[in-house]
Amino acid sequence: MKKLINILIFAGCFMAALHGQQSNKIKRSIQTWQISDKLTQVIPSVIDTPVYNFHNTDQVNSYSIANAFNGTLGSPIQSKIFTDRTTKTDYLFSSAYDAYFLAPTDIIFYNTTVPYSNITWFSSGGQKNKEDDFKAILTLNANKRLNFSGLIDYVVARGEYNQQATRLFKGGVWGSYMGKWYSATGIAMYQSFNNKENGGIADPAFITRPDSLTGYEPINIPVRLSDAKSWYKNSYLYFNQKVNFGKGRHAADTLTKDTIKIATLQHTLKLEQAAKRYKATSEDDFYPVIYYDSLSTVDSTRYRSFRNTLALTINEGFSRFFPLGITFYAENDYQDYCTVKDTVPVYNYENDVLIGAEMAKRKGKAFLFYANAELNTLGRKAGDFVINGGAGSSFRLFKDSAFVKVNAYLKNTSPSYFENNYYSNHFSWSNNFDKTLKTYLDGGIGLRNKYLDVSLNVSVQNITNYIYINNNAVPDQYNGNIQLLTADAIVNLKFGPLYLQNKIAYQKSGNQDIIALPEISTYNNLFFGFTMFKKVLATQLGADMYYHTAYFAPNYMPATGLFYSQQTHLIGNYPVISVYANFHLKTATFFFKYSHMNALFMAPNYFSMPNYPINQDMFRMGITWNFFD
C-alpha cells in the first residue's frame, strides 16, 4: 500500500508540475478516437468525465451487469450475459482476463492542444481485505498532428477470503500521426495478471449456516487449495500506417479536417506474445488425476502471433457521386504454441492466410451500413469464413431523438489450437473438433428525450457444433444445434431531481446443460441528482441493486483458468444492494459507497459461483481527476 501511495503522490506532483508550465492562453481542444482491429476504422469517442454513476465504473462492474468471478478485483471472470462475453485474443487461456485486458480496440487515441492527464483511484475494504486500483494517463502533442500517450494501471487486492490475493499491472505507450497524405498509429503494451488460487471455500455452510459454524471470520474459513497461484502475461506491439493518394473532393474529414483522398493503402503489423502458468506445491487431493508429479505442479503454455494485414480502400465520400467506401484486404497470421507434456516442451505452429472485402457507409446519420466477408484460404483454418453486416439510422421523432439498427453474421470457424491440444500435470486432451457454425441476428430501437432514455435490443442465434468446457473441466463439442434468445432493455426515467435507471437482460438457452444462463439479470439504480453551493458541486445520492435469477452457474478450474459446466449447485436469486454518494466538482469526481449492505440483514447466500462467495458488506471510495492545463 505504501508503494501505491508513493506512486500516486509522484504521479500527481509530476502532472501538476507539467501542467504548471503550460500557457493559459492556449485554447483547449481535445479530439479522441478508437480503432477497429482489422481495418483500423476510426471510431470517434469522447473523454469520459463521469458526473453520475462513477461508483460503478470499476473493472468488474464495467464488464457486465452479471459476472461469475472468484470474488476479488483482478481475479478470473466470465460474464453471465452470453452476448457480453468477449474473445480478445486467439489464446484459449486469456478469456478469463478479458474484463481487464486492453486490446488495441480498447485504446483511446488523442489529439490535443494542451497536455491532458487523468488520475483515477479506487479503494475498498480494511486492513485485512483491502483492494486498490490506481490508474494514470498522460497525453500530449508534439505538434498539431503528432501525439504521444501513456498509461499505467496497478491493482493490488488482498481478498476477503484466504488465498485470494491478486496483483494486476497494465502499462503501455502509444501514439499517432495524422497527416494529409500519411498517417500512423502505434501501441506498445505489457499486461500482467497474478492471482492466488484457493479452489473455493471448503464448505458453503460457512456462508449459508454461520450459526452452526461459529468463530470463523472470512479470512479464516478453510479453503480447498492452500498454496496455488496462477499468472497470465501478455505483451504486444501494434503498428498501422496508411498512405493516401489521389485528389478527392474538398469536403473535410471529420477527424483531420483534411480533404478526403480517393484511396488509401494501409499495412497493419501486430506482434503478440502471451503465457499462462499455474504453480502449486500442496493440492490436498483437489485434482483426481496426476500425470507425472504427485508433489508439486508447474504447468505452463505459451502463445505467439505475428500478423500482417494489407488493405486497399476506395474512400467513402471522395466524390459526391461515390458515397460508399470499399475495401479489399489480405492477412497472414503466423502463430506458434508451446505446452509441456511429461516435462518435455511440445512446440507447434500454424500459418493462416485470409482474404476479405467490405463495403460501408459510415458517415452521416440518416442511414449507415456495412457488409463484410472474409475467407481463410490457406492453413489449418482453410475454409473458415465470416459474413457479417449491419445497418442503422438516427433520426428525430417529433422532438425526441430516436434510432433503429440491425446486425447479422454467419461464421464458420475452426477450434483454437488449445481446444484441440493441451498437456499438463492434471489435464490432458487431444481432440479433433469440427468447425463451429454460428448464425446471429439482432435488432434494436431507442428513444431519448430529457425525461426518458429507453432502448430495446433483441438477438437470436443458432450454434452448430458448439465447443464448451464440460463437467470434467475439459473441452467438449456438442454435435447438434443450440438456439439462444437474448432481449436486453435500458429504461432510464427522470422526474425532476429523481432518477430511476434500469438495465434488464432476458436470456433463453435451448440447452441449459451446455450453455447455462440466468433467465433474468437486472441492474436497478434509484437516486437523487442535484447541485449544491451555487451549482458548483454536482451531487448524486442513491441506492442500486444487482440481481439475477437462480441457475447452474459455471464452476472454475484453477489449473487451467477455465470456467466449466456444472449441474449441481444453483447460484443466484440473491440481490446485492449498495448505497452511495457521488460528487463532481469542476474536473474531479469522487464517491463513497457502502456495498452489499444487505449482507447485514438477509439470509447469507451470496455466491458468484459454487464455493466462491463474493465480498461481504464493505466500504468503497474512489476519485478521478482530469488535468487539462
Under a CB-based contact definition with an 8 Å cutoff, are residues 571 and 552 in contact?
Answer: yes
Task: For 514-564, write each residue's pLDDT tens digit.
Answer: 999 999 999 999 999 999 988 889 999 999 999 999 999 999 999 999 999
Report the C-alpha gap between 260 and 258 in whole angstroms.
Answer: 6
Residues of the chain under the 70 pLDDT cut: 1-26, 48-49, 212-215, 248-258
Q: Whole-prediction pTM value?
A: 0.91
Q: For residue 418, with 0-12 CB atoms within 10 Å meaning exposed, 13-18 middle and 19 or more buried, which class applies?
A: buried
Q: What is the pLDDT of residue 26?
A: 65
Q: What is the pLDDT of residue 377?
A: 97
Q: What is the pLDDT of residue 609?
A: 97
Under a CB-based contact definition with an 8 Å cutoff, are residues 505 and 65 in contact?
Answer: yes
Q: Domains, the chain, ranges and CATH?
A: 2-627 (2.40.170.20)
- Residue located via cell numbers 479470512: 219
| Residue 96 phi, psi (nearest 5) | -70, -10
Which CA distances in Å does 88 have to 33, 72, 104?
A: 19, 22, 9
Report the C-alpha gap between 404 and 239 in whole angstroms.
Answer: 35
Task: For 46-73, write each residue's pLDDT tens digit.
Answer: 776 678 999 999 999 999 999 999 999 9
Q: Is 364 left (phi over 0), alpha (psi -120 to 50) or beta?
A: left
Label the pairing between strands 555-557 and 562-564.
antiparallel
Provide the CA 328 distance to its chain's centre, in angstroms: 29
Half-sphere exposure of 414 (CA within 13 A, CB side): 19
The amino acid present at 309, given as its one-letter code, is T
Q: What is the pLDDT of residue 158?
A: 94
> DSSP of 93-129, one letter per residue?
GGGGGTTT---GGGPPEEEESS-EEEEEEEEES-TTT
Which triple of cell numbers denotes residue 615?
465480498
Q: What is the pLDDT of residue 152?
A: 97
Classify 426 as helix, strand or coil.
coil
| Residue 138 phi, psi (nearest 5) | -135, 130
Q: What is the pLDDT of residue 267?
A: 96
